Amino acid sequence: MRIFVVDAFTDQAFQGNPAGVCLLEKPAEPRWMQAVAAEMRHSETAFVRALDEGFELRWFTPATEVRLCGHATLAAARAIYAEGLAEPWQTLEFSTLSGLLTVKQEDEGLRLDFPAVPAERVEPPAGLAAALGAEPVFTARNAQNDLLVAVPDAAVVRGMRPDFALLETLDARGVCVTAPADAEAGDADFVSRFFAPSVGVPEDPVTGSAHCMLAPYWAERLGRDTLTGVQVSARSGKVGVRLEGGRVHLTGQAVIVLIGELMV
């Protein structure tokens, strides 16, 4: 079966967030999909299976299945269009653990329609500042058990060197650190980084699902529903976000860098 590596939320190879994409020819056992994801070693590998209408989509990190993943959805859509499994004008419909998700090709890139996952303010967990090496100015938690941590400025986000062993002990699936954008981020409104050692991903290069939490946070503070985020990991990537009620539209580019044949 066909398997891909796609760099998501970028228009350049070897930037953005690489995802595996496996186009299934028949239903697969979760244990097998988990083994393939561990073999691929990307932060997520997407498994796509055509249905009578639309596609089934599941995402696995090297360690576990996750309920929502933006960059691997973007990558899956790019592979589907490239393989001619859908016409360029067609909206893709994915049945997932987070419900029905859609992707559509537009002039600005691929647009994902995802649920918003706003975070509610909480007290910083014990050990958070020590794990990040920075004092939060705001901490919140969402329904996916991700922490949103605001810090004073983009330089703190860029310079952060977390203690991953300590970070893994926190009660959180992932920790998203954010701040207002600086000049280095170009036309962006905010910057972020995302750490998830508890699910086998020390740092995720560009995280679509985190922007479902970042969008309502920054929309409220900046007074606008249409924003641009830059995730300032070593690979970096840009995510356009538009908040519409309980949904977030994520827009980005994706580049196929490898196509292969999975033999087992």
Rounded to whole angstroms, the Cα distance separating 9 from 56 reads: 22
Domain ranges of the chain: 2-115+250-261, 120-245
Can you say whether the dihedral through the CA atoms of 188, 116, 79, 63 is positive or negative? positive
Contact assessment for residue 65 and residue 59, using Cβ atoms and an 8 Å cutoff: yes
Tell me what pLDDT residue 29 has: 98
Token duo for residue 233: 């990991």
Asked if the model's pLDDT at residue 264 lies above 90, the reply is: no
Tell me what pLDDT residue 61 has: 95
Whether the model clears a pTM of 0.85, i.e. scores above it, the answer is: yes
Token pair 């705001």: residue: 138
How high is the mean pLDDT of the chain? 97
DSSP assignment of 62-126 equals SS-EES--HHHHHHHHHHHHHTTSS-TTPPEEEEETTEEEEEEEETTEEEEEEE----EE-PPPT
- 192-215 exposure pattern, b = at least 16 Cβ within 10 A, e = fewer: bbbbbbbbbbebbbbbbbbbbbbb
Task: Kindly report, residue by residue over 55-70, the tens digit of the pLDDT.
Answer: 999 999 999 999 999 9
Asked if the model's pLDDT at residue 182 lies above 90, the reply is: yes
Q: Per CATH, the architecture of 2-115+250-261 is what?
A: Roll (3.10)
Asked if the model's pLDDT at residue 84 lies above 90, the reply is: yes
Token duo for residue 54: 């639309």
**Cα maximum dimension of the chain:** 51
Token duo for residue 190: 């905010």
State the catalytic residue, choosing from 44, 135, 168, 244.
Answer: 44
* 44 catalytically annotated: yes
Instruction: Give the mean model confidence (pLDDT) for residues 164-170.
Output: 97
Tell me what pLDDT residue 113 has: 96
CATH of domain 120-245: 3.10.310.10
Instruction: Give the mean model confidence (pLDDT) for residues 122-133.
Output: 97
Q: Are the folds of 2-115+250-261 and 120-245 the same?
A: yes
Task: Kindly report, residue by residue over 195-236, the tens digit of the pLDDT.
Answer: 999 999 999 999 999 999 999 999 999 999 999 999 999 999
Task: Kindly report, residue by residue over 4-52, the tens digit of the pLDDT.
Answer: 999 999 999 999 999 999 999 999 999 999 999 999 999 999 999 999 9
Tell me what pLDDT residue 233 has: 97
Tell me what pLDDT residue 58 has: 98
Token duo for residue 78: 């790019």
Contact assessment for residue 191 and residue 185, using Cβ atoms and an 8 Å cutoff: yes
Q: Where are the alpha helices (DSSP H) in the chain?
A: 30-40, 70-82, 128-132, 154-159, 164-167, 208-222
